[in-house]
Amino acid sequence: MYDVIIVGAGASGLICALECARNGKKVLLLEKDPQPGRKILVSGNGRCNITNRFVSVADYHGPQKLLENALKNFPFEFCVRYFEQLGIPLREEENGRFFPATGKSTSVLEPLKLALQEAGAELLTGQEVTRIKTGGSFGVQTRQGQIFKSKKLVLACGSCAYPQLSGTQSGYQLAKSLGHSIIPPTPALCALTLKEKAVARLQGIRVQAALTARRQEQVFAQSQGEVLFTNYGVNGPAVLNISAAVIRQLAQGPVQLDMNLFAATADFNALMQARKEQFGTRRAKDFFAGLLHENIANLLIDFAGVRKNMPVRDWTPNTWQNIVRTLQKWTFNVTGARPWQEAMAASGGVNTSEINYNTFESLKCPGLFITGELLDVDGHSGGFNLHFAWSSGFTAARKLSEV
């Protein structure tokens, strides 16, 4: 009989197991894959962006109180100290993102595994939990035919995102079997497909832009940063950060994305007017040289229906205004998200209204705790999802250690 069985050795399960074991609990961590923490290894392009200096409730979709509690129990400074005490020096990069100083995600996973072993927790890999029996204690059955028993149980199975690397529906099914409802998962941190096929002409071009996502005039998400044009639509950090909200809204109806290519320019209209006075004799295609990538300029000129050889000073006022306006508000129609194989996280999951916001204990099944990405919580790109996985696992362990 274990004190605690934790299902899923990802970020959330590993930290929860470590803290429970450090607090004297007899812990078993079950992992379906041959290796634990595969998403830790792949995160941040193999460098593991473990947290962010600016982490706050505003970086997440999820209930404010639950997020406040998780971030209070495991704040940014504490997170940095925690990993440094595990023997992992950290390094800060732009926008407050923290990585192991070695620049390798194995530098996070290996010390975690060693600490787990030193604390006395048992880790069994290649054991996929398929059935859980309740009734005083938990009976945990695996596909491999083993049965384990525990007083408390933690589901830290992650989401169905990135199925090629441990993403699975399994956690939703187990949570459902224990009385929980599931908000249907949708891709988060994912590139978006656009109706405007012409963007394929811009494939590979990166721009700095401000994005506004709206349904008709109702703005619901905004972001600023790098946008990468692809053959199907748009990708890049600014897109990833609004992707979850866009995909959730798409279920209700059409979504438009406005792109401002000159959000950082104080008075863009004045800049364009001055440019017209200086370079008005140039042909359309030359007028934008130095200001815009050539392919973007060509696409805009085609959209506006302007002859490429016509000097800019001969454009009608309407054409001029159209192009200046488009540079600040280029509207695209979103058709969807790229497949789950390309989603770095999931929105949706176990309904958080069924979870105790202070402890992550289930309100449906006493003794059960649910943490990490399996819950209907998702964060922006930049270390926020891992931070939630750590902080929720850590918070649950606190309560489990009290018992």
Ligand X SMILES: Cc1cc2nc3c(=O)[nH]c(=O)nc-3n(C[C@H](O)[C@H](O)[C@H](O)COP(=O)(O)OP(=O)(O)OC[C@H]3O[C@@H](n4cnc5c(N)ncnc54)[C@H](O)[C@@H]3O)c2cc1C
- Applying CB under 6 A, which residues contact ligand X? 7-13, 30-33, 38-39, 42-44, 49, 128-129, 156-158, 161-162, 166, 168, 170-171, 344-345, 372-373, 383-386, 389
Residue number, 344 or 350, with CB nearest to ligand X: 344
Return the number of the residue (69 or 170) whose C-beta is nearest ligand X: 170
Q: How far is the CB of 142 from ligand X (least distance, A)?
A: 7
* Least Cβ distance, residue 39 to ligand X (angstroms): 4
The nearer residue to ligand X, 229 or 340, going by C-beta atoms, is 340
Rank residues 150 and 170 by Cβ distance to ligand X and give the closer one: 170
Q: How far is the CB of 195 from ligand X (least distance, A)?
A: 27
Least distance (Å) between residue 162 CB and ligand X: 4
Least separation in angstroms between CB 68 and ligand X: 19
**In the complex, least distance from residue 146 CB atom to ligand X, rounded to whole angstroms:** 11
The residue sitting closest to ligand X, measured at its beta carbon, is 10
Based on CB atoms, which residue is closest to ligand X, 7 or 244?
A: 7
**Shorter beta-carbon distance to ligand X: residue 9 or 296:** 9
Q: Least distance from C-beta 318 to ligand X, angstroms? A: 45
Q: Which is nearer to ligand X, 62 or 372 (CB)?
A: 372
User: What is the 3 state secondary structure string of the chain?
Assistant: CEEEEEECCCHHHHHHHHHHHHCCCCEEEECCCCCCCHHHHHHHHHCCCCEECCCCHHHEECCHHHHHHHHHHCCHHHHHHHHHHCCCCEEECHHHEEEECCCCCHHHHHHHHHHHHHHCCEEECCCCEEEEECCCCEEEEECCCCEEEEEEEEECCCCCCCHHHCCCCHHHHHHHHCCCCEEEEEEECCCEEECCHHHHHHCCCEEEEEEEEEECCEEEEEEEEEEEECCCEEECHHHHHHHHHHHHHHCCCCEEEEEECCCCCCCHHHHHHHHHHHHCCCEHHHHCCCCCCHHHHHHHHHHHCCCCCCEHHHCCHHHHHHHHHHHHCEEEEEEEECCHHHCCEEEEEECHHHECCCCCEECCCCCEEECHHHECCEECCCCHHHHHHHHHHHHHHHHHHHC
